[in-house]
Structure 1
Amino acid sequence: MEKLSDARRRALDDDHIRNLFRMEQANTDVLVHSSDIPGGYTVPPHRHRRTQFLCVFAGVVLVGTERGRWMIPPGHALLIPRGLEHSVEMISDVSMRSVYIYSPEGRAASQVPTVLEVTDLARQLIAETVRHDGLSEDRRRSDLVMALLLDEIGRLPERPLGLPFPASGRLAGLCRDFVEQPSPVAKIDDWARRLNMSRRTFTRFFRQEMGVSFVTWRQQACLFACLPRLAAGEPVTRVALDAGYESVPAFTTMFKRMLGTAPRAYLTSRTAA
C-alpha cells in the first residue's frame, strides 16, 4: 500500500468537508454518497445529523468511537447512529457507498453501531440509488426504491464485528495491549490476576464493562486481526498460524462460529459480490 502524499490527503479532506456541507444543506430525508478512497487514509473524528449506513463494496474499513471499534469487510455495512462521534480508517483501498437517513425508523434508529451483512437485494438497491441520485425523472420510482432499501436494511443479518472498549482504567490498557497482539489462548485467570481480582469477580466486571463475555471479546479481537489479511489475499493457513491458532481447523471453527461460514467460502462469496 503506497503512502499517501500530503496533497492527496488534503484533497481527500476537502472532499469529506464538501460532503458534510452537502448533508447539512440538503432538505431531502435520504441522501446517498459514493466514495473510492485509498488505503492509509483516516477521516478524523466527526459526527452527522443523519444516521449513516456505510456499505463497503471492496476493501476493509475500521470505524472507531470512544467505546469501541467496528470492522467492515467487503459485503458488509455499519449503521452509525446520528450524533455519534466517530473516525473512519481505510485499512486498504476502499470502495464504499453511504446512505444518510434524516428520520430513521426501526433498526436504523438504533443508538448502537451495528455491523450488517449486505444481501444481493440491498447491494442492487444501493447501486440504483447512487446511479439516479438527484437525477431520476421518475420521482415515484426513486421513492419506492429508497423505501425498499430502508425496509431491507431492517432485515439484514447482524455480524459480530464490533469490538467494545472500556472508556478508561486498567482494563482499557489491557484491552489495548491485547488488540496489538491478540491471542486465542489468552486466559481469564491471567487477566484477573493482573487486575487483582478473583476469576468470578473479573468475569462479572468484564461483562458489566464491555457488554459481552471475555471469551466472546477475545474471539472478536482475534477476528479483527485476521480479516484484513484474509481480504488482502493472504493464505488462510498463514493467517491462522500467525494468529496463534494450533491448526487451520481450529481457526475455521472460530471463523464459522463468528461469521457463519468457513474462511475460504467467505472470501469467495465476498469476491464474487
Structure 2
Amino acid sequence: MPILSDGPDWIDPDNVPRPVVTFGAAMAEVGRIELELHRHMKGQVLFVQRGALSCEVEGGLWIVPPRSAVWIPGGALHAIKASGALEGFAAFVDPAVSRGLPEVCCAVSVAPLLRELLIRSASLPALYEEGGANSRLMAALLDELAAAKIEDLHLPMPTDARLRRIVDLMMASPADRGTLDVWAKRAGLSERTLARLISRETGMSFGRWRQQLGVILAVKWLASGASIQQVAADLGYESAPSFVTMFRKALGTSPGRYMAERSFSRH
C-alpha cells in the first residue's frame, strides 16, 4: 500500500484502531511526489530503502537517504518530497504506545533488524489480529526504533521572512559561494544583522549553516545516483577532493563509503 499518496486506495492510519500500522511504498518509475503540509495524530517513522526523500517539519529540514528514517512526532506539521525511484516503509505509532520514542523530529539510522521488522509488519493486514505473535512483533519494532541511532541529517530552517528568501536562493543555487557580506547586501541587511539573525534562528553561524546545507544536499544527490564529481561541482567546489574533505569532517566518513554502507543486499 502506498505511503506517499492520498489516492483512493489510501487508508488514513489515524483511523486504524491499532497501536502500530505499517505501510510499504514503491515508486519504480522516475517521477516526483510532493505532499503539502499536513499532520497525523499518530507519530510516523518514514524509512527509505532505495532513493531519497526530504521532509520539512516545523523549524527544520531532514534528508532521508537509504538505510535511514525520519521520526515525525504525532501532531507535527510536515511536508514530504521525493523524486526518482523510491522504496520504503512507514509505520504510524499511536501516542499511547510511543513512550521511549523521541519527542522531537529526528533522523535515525535503520539497523537490519529494524528494517526486517518494518518489512514483516507491512505484510500484515491493517486490522491485524492483536495479541500473540503480532503484538510481540510490534513491541519489538518499537523497542528497535527507540534504540535507533540518531543521525545528523538535519538543517535548521529559519522563520524570518528575510532569511527564508536567502535560504530559498541558496537552495536553488547551492554552487553560489557568496560571502556573508554578499548575501547580506542581497537581502538589504548589514553583515552584522544577517549574522545575528542566522545565529538566533538556527543556532549556527552562517558558514556552519551553509556547510550543513551542502551536506544534506550531497546526501540527497548521492542517494539519487549522482557521482561524487557531479555533486562537488553542483555545490561549487573547485575539486572533488575538497568536497570529500568537507563531507568526511561533517559525517566522519567519505561520500563513497557513506553510500556503500547504506546499500542493502537484495534477497
Normalising by the smaller structure, the TM-score range is 0.7 to 0.9
Gaps of 5+ in 1: 1-10
Which residue of 190, 215, 222 maps to 1:223?
A: 215
Between Structure 1 and Structure 2, the one with more helix by share is: 1
Q: 1:6 is matched with which residue? A: none
Q: Does 1:161 align with 2:138?
A: no
What is the number of residues matched between the two proteins?
A: 257
Which residue of 136, 141, 148 maps to 2:140?
A: 148
What displacement does 1:172 show?
A: 1.4
Q: 1:105 is matched with which residue? A: 99
Q: 1:31 is matched with which residue? A: 21
Q: Structure 1 residues 263-272 or 70-79, which shifts more?
A: 263-272
Deviations 1:156-196 (A, max 9, x none): 22222222222232111111111111248443343445553
Deviations 1:21-46 (A, max 9, x none): xx232221111111113531212322
Take 2:148 and 2:225, find their aligned partners in 1: how far apart are those partners?
A: 26
1:4-23 correspondence to structure 2 within 5 Å:
12-15=5-8, 18-20=10-12, 23=13
Q: Structure 1 residues 47-56 or 250-259, which shifts more?
A: 250-259
SS state at 1:105 partner: coil
Identity over aligned residues, as a percent? 30
Take 1:192 and 1:256, find their aligned partners in 2: how far apart are those partners?
A: 29
Gaps of 5+ in 2: none
Q: Structure 1 residues 125-134 or 214-223, which shifts more?
A: 125-134
How large is the RMSD of aligned CA atoms in angstroms?
2.6
TM-score, normalised on structure 2? 0.84
1:98-137 correspondence to structure 2 within 5 Å:
98-103=90-95, 104-108=98-102, 110=103, 112-133=104-125
Deviations 1:237-267 (A, max 9, x none): 2221232112222211222233332111122
Counterpart amino acid of residue 7 in structure 2: D
Counterpart amino acid of residue 206 in structure 1: I
Counterpart amino acid of residue 6 in structure 2: D
Deviations 1:210-260 (A, max 9, x none): 233323321221123323332232221222123211222221122223333
TM-score, normalised on structure 1? 0.83
1:38-117 correspondence to structure 2 within 5 Å:
39-103=31-95, 104-108=98-102, 110=103, 112-117=104-109
